[in-house]
């Protein structure tokens, strides 16, 4: 899997100068991913970083903790900044995002959001919340936009606006290597192509994370199958390992990360799910319905990150190097 084109952009990566405070870092590996600049990760918080020889110093990025809500990404601009509230979840869903044991945000979406705020020339105030609280918080105007591996679907488009997709994920069945069930496909009853044939997993149980496109998929295409719902992907994996569920239906990217871990040694992808509209059109940022100004800013920044190679560099690091 890769970016929405199916292949990462080939343009060279930009050199993003970064200055971090000693209090908090957002994407610890970011400066090693976007190579070409020195980085100050604690200590010299006001140090300006140099790019290529002859290139002017660029704006610094400061990350500071804010009371009770997380931290602020502050792009040091010569002119006044506006503040944008970004909703994110610390629930571990690698390689998208998590807060590691050092208290640092890391992952594809963490580093992408950092770069996005630089391109938007804005102070991004990060609001931490549970994944299932992101969309309600957006609708209640508690945040201006959100990120959380949200798949673009026609149903969601009715009540919210999606940015240009930044990743095209797939969906897979994950199960134990010792399970020899042959999971098959059949023509979907709604004429959308092929779907999992529920007869081939009769008597089995399937775990999904609540509120995801995978949860919609099992509801629509797997009638009569026992389905267990979980608040996080990690909890569904925990039940798979403990034997309380036979399979989980989840993102291929999340699955790859799990299979590379020690805990995933005895598990494998049983089948890749054929794409259809229920599973979405890729993953993207979400803005409030009708907030064209915010959506335009996000899309313009994503276009720049695609053009200058940052998206490719981040995908190479978090998707390819980590899996």
> pLDDT of 233-262, one tens digit each?
889 999 999 999 999 999 887 888 789 889
For the segment 52-69, the average pLDDT, to the nearest whole number, is 29
Look up the CATH number of domain 171-279.
3.40.190.10
DSSP string, 56-120: PP---EEEEEETTTEEEEEE--SSPPPEEEEEE--S-BTTTBEE-TTS-EESHHHHHHHHHHHHH
Higher pLDDT, 147 or 11: 147
- Measured between alpha carbons, how far is 247 from 205 in angstroms, rounded to an integer? 6
Q: Is the pLDDT of residue 118 over 50?
A: yes
Q: Is the pLDDT of residue 294 over 80?
A: yes
Considering 63-67, 85-89, 103-107, 189-193, the range whose residues carry the highest mean pLDDT is: 85-89
Residue spans in the chain of domains classed CATH 3.40.190.10:
18-167+282-321, 171-279
Enumerate the β-bridge partners of residue 209. Answer: 230
What are the φ and ψ backbone dihedral angles of 61, each rounded to 5 degrees? -120, 125
Confidence class for position 320, pLDDT limits 50, 70, 90 = low
Considering 59-63, 95-99, 124-128, 315-319, the range whose residues carry the highest mean pLDDT is: 124-128
Q: Is the pLDDT of residue 65 over 70?
A: no
Q: What is the tens place of the pLDDT at every residue in 143-200?
A: 999 999 888 888 899 999 999 998 877 899 999 999 999 999 999 998 888 999 999 9
Higher pLDDT, 309 or 53: 309
Question: Which of the four CATH numbers 3.40.50.300, 3.40.190.10, 3.40.630.30, 3.60.130.10 does domain 18-167+282-321 have?
Answer: 3.40.190.10
> What's the chain's average pLDDT?
76
CA distances from 270 to 37, 70, 115, 172, 267 (A): 43, 38, 36, 7, 9
Helices 108-120, 292-307: crossing angle, 10 deg rounding: 110
DSSP H or E run through 312? helix 310-315
Collapsing DSSP to helix, strand or coil, 208 comes out as: strand
């Amino acid at each position: 899997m890769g970016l929405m084109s199916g292949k990462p952009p080939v343009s060279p990566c930009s050199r993003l100068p970064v200055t971090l405070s000693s209090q908090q870092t957002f994407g610890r590996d970011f400066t090693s991913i976007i190579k070409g600049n020195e980085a100050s990760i604690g200590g010299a918080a006001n140090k300006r970083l140099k790019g290529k020889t002859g290139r002017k110093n660029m704006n610094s990025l400061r990350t500071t903790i804010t009371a009770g809500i997380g931290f602020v990404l502050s792009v040091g601009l010569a002119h006044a900044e506006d503040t944008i509230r970004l909703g994110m979840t610390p629930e571990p869903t690698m390689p998208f995002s998590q807060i590691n044991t050092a208290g640092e945000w890391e992952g594809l979406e963490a580093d992408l959001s950092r770069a996005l705020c630089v391109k938007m020339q804005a102070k991004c105030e990060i609001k931490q919340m549970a994944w299932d609280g992101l969309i309600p918080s957006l609708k209640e105007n508690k945040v201006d936009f959100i990120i959380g591996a949200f798949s673009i679907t026609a149903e969601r488009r009715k009540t919210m606006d999606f940015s240009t997709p930044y990743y095209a994920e797939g969906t897979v069945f994950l199960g134990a290597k010792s399970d020899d069930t042959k999971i098959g496909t059949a023509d979907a009853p709604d004429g959308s192509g092929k779907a999992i044939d529920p007869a081939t997993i009769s008597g089995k149980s399937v775990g999904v994370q609540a509120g995801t496109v995978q949860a919609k998929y099992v509801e629509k295409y797997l009638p009569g199958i026992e389905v267990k719902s979980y608040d996080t992907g990690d909890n569904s994996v925990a039940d798979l390992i403990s034997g309380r569920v036979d399979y989980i239906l989840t993102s291929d990217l999340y699955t790859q990360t799990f299979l590379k871990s020690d805990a995933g040694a005895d598990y494998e992808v049983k089948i890749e799910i054929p794409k259809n509209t229920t599973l979405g059109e890729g993953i993207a940022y979400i803005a409030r319905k009708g907030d064209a100004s915010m959506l335009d800013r996000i899309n313009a920044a994503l276009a720049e990150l695609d053009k200058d190679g940052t998206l490719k560099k981040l995908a190479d690091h978090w998707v390819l190097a980590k899996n």
